[in-house]
Amino acid sequence: MHVDIGNALASEVSPGVSRAALERLDDQVADAHERIERGMANAEHGYEALNLPERTDPDEISAAVEPVADSEALITVGIGGSALGAATITDALAAESDTEAVYLDNVDPEWVSNHLEGLPLEETAINVVSRSGTTAETLANFLVVRDAFESAGVDWTERTIVTTGESGPLRDLANRHDLPSLKVPDGVPGRFSALSAVGMVAAAVCGHDLEALLAGAAAERETLTGSLFDCPAYAYGATAYALDQRGAGINAMVPYAESLETFAEWFAQLWAESLGKDDLGQTPVRALGVTDQHSQLQLYRAGPRDKLVTFVSPGETDDRPIPDTDVEDLAYLGDATLGELLEAEFEATEASLAAAGRPNVRLELEAVDEYELGGLLYGMEAACVLAGELYGVNTFEQPAVEWAKKATRGLLGGGDFEEADAVAEKTELRVER
Ligand SMILES: O=P(O)(O)OC[C@H]1O[C@](O)(CO)[C@@H](O)[C@@H]1O
């Protein structure tokens, strides 16, 4: 991926970061890079994620999915990093696959039922993913999916792949039913695991090129030098951090391609769960170009000066001509294509924010293909690791999510948790119709 931070400079926008400030920050980037390199060399927890391009074995993944490769449909049962990385890849590349990829990463009963009712279960693979193997939503959805297969007379054990840790309920299930299973790599938090079996089993079932994904990630790995001026990932991580330090506490991720909409969701978990600690962190907003020009651009351009807008330019895409029209005011469209309209809107919106002095950064892909996607995923992960070093937070843990899990378990009779008691003590001020 390429990064253009020109519209983040203090000479152009406010809040902005001056070149001099970036040069001073580059000393911290160099120190952070040494820490990152040491962590990678020692396969330390979290930093190990940046070793995945050489750690992940695509042949092992392809072999595990062979019994269900090219299934008509695939249900991935997981949540957070155990679903979003895979969904980013298969949604981005969906046009290249004949497999319908469905992700059950919520326990909304109507939504789950609607998804299951529409699938040809006898031609559907089940991809269950959970690093801990104990995530309530994933286990609940797996039990529902298994029951649906059994009720339809389809042998789920013939169509299920499990990706989980060394131990836990899912590992036990895989062993008990001799299911094809893969291991979540040690030292890789879920939100950093897209380039492991966690994110790539779904891609393999859908027939995507795992080697190209890893090659793109490996190429991005090679750009990790000690300077933000030489490394796109560090340029992005350092600039986003510097802008947050100057008041841009919100980061709107705006890919200009429907195929990258899920990428914005994946980025939101990566950025929020890694950096949101010790009252620090930059709030990710999931958005989509051109669509959100007609919903959020007003706020981005004329609201509080508290946002960075990150544009993702998808590069080369298929195109479609706009037919000629006799509507005089729209005649200019008849000489263009939809792709040219999208590109013009992207450049116009980017310039619109700059003209209003609003910080924005451009991430550029050559195209939305496996190689570029691997580079984008890896680049954002490296950017996040760098930002975590600059913030001085523990990038790789997420202790704040545990309170609600305990409260949920207590509310469902899964044990005595003071968190569940606190739920009953809610202060109310109801305003009823
Ligand atoms: O892969 P698991 O263990 O099911 O966890 C799923 C997700 O839940 C979290 O632990 C947060 O609750 C994320 O960090 C993780 O990606």
pLDDT recorded at residue 391:
98
pLDDT recorded at residue 70:
77
Q: Do residues 361 and 242 touch, judged by C-beta distance below 8 A?
A: no
Is 193 a pocket residue for ligand 1 (Cβ < 6 Å)? no
Q: Do residues 253 and 284 touch, judged by C-beta distance below 8 A?
A: yes
Per-residue pLDDT of 95-123, as tens digits, reads: 999 999 999 999 999 999 999 998 999 99
Nearest by Cα to 82 from 32, 128, 17: 128
H/E stretch holding 410 reads helix 402-411
Is 282 a pocket residue for ligand 1 (Cβ < 6 Å)? no
Per-residue pLDDT of 4-21, as tens digits, reads: 999 999 999 999 999 999
What the chain holds in terms of domains, given with CATH numbers, is: 2-37+214-391 (3.40.50.10490), 50-208 (3.40.50.10490), 402-433 (no CATH)
Among 45, 104, 132, 394, which residue has the most ligand 1 atoms within 8 Å of its CB, making it the best to mutate? 132
pLDDT recorded at residue 147:
98
Q: Which residues of the chain have pLDDT under 70?
A: none
pLDDT recorded at residue 217:
98
Rounded to 5 degrees, φ, ψ at 129 are -130, 125
- The reply to whether the predicted model has a pTM over 0.95 is yes
Task: State the distance from the centre of ligand 1 to the C-alpha of 230, rounded, in angstroms.
Answer: 33
Question: How far apart (Å, rounded) are the C-alpha atoms in residues 224 and 227?
Answer: 8
Task: State the distance from the centre of ligand 1 to the C-alpha of 400, rounded, in angstroms.
Answer: 12
Name, in order, each residue with C-beta under 8 angstroms of 200's C-beta and a sequence gap of 6 or more: 56, 58, 61, 86, 89, 194, 210, 213
pLDDT recorded at residue 69:
87
- HSE-CB for 95 with a 13 A CA cutoff: 10
Task: State the distance from the centre of ligand 1 to the C-alpha of 190, rounded, in angstroms.
Answer: 6
pLDDT recorded at residue 325:
85
Is 81 a pocket residue for ligand 1 (Cβ < 6 Å)? yes
% the chain with pLDDT above 70: 100
Site of tokens 């305003």: 431
For residues 120-133, one letter each, b for 16 or more C-beta atoms within 10 angstroms of the residue's C-beta and e for the rest, the string is: ebeebbbbbbbbeb
- HSE-CB for 187 with a 13 A CA cutoff: 15
Report, as residue numbers or ranges, the catalytic residues. Answer: 273, 294, 405
Q: Atom of ligand 1 at shortest distance to CA of 401?
A: 12
Q: Is the peptide bond before 255 cis (omega within 30 degrees of 0)?
A: no
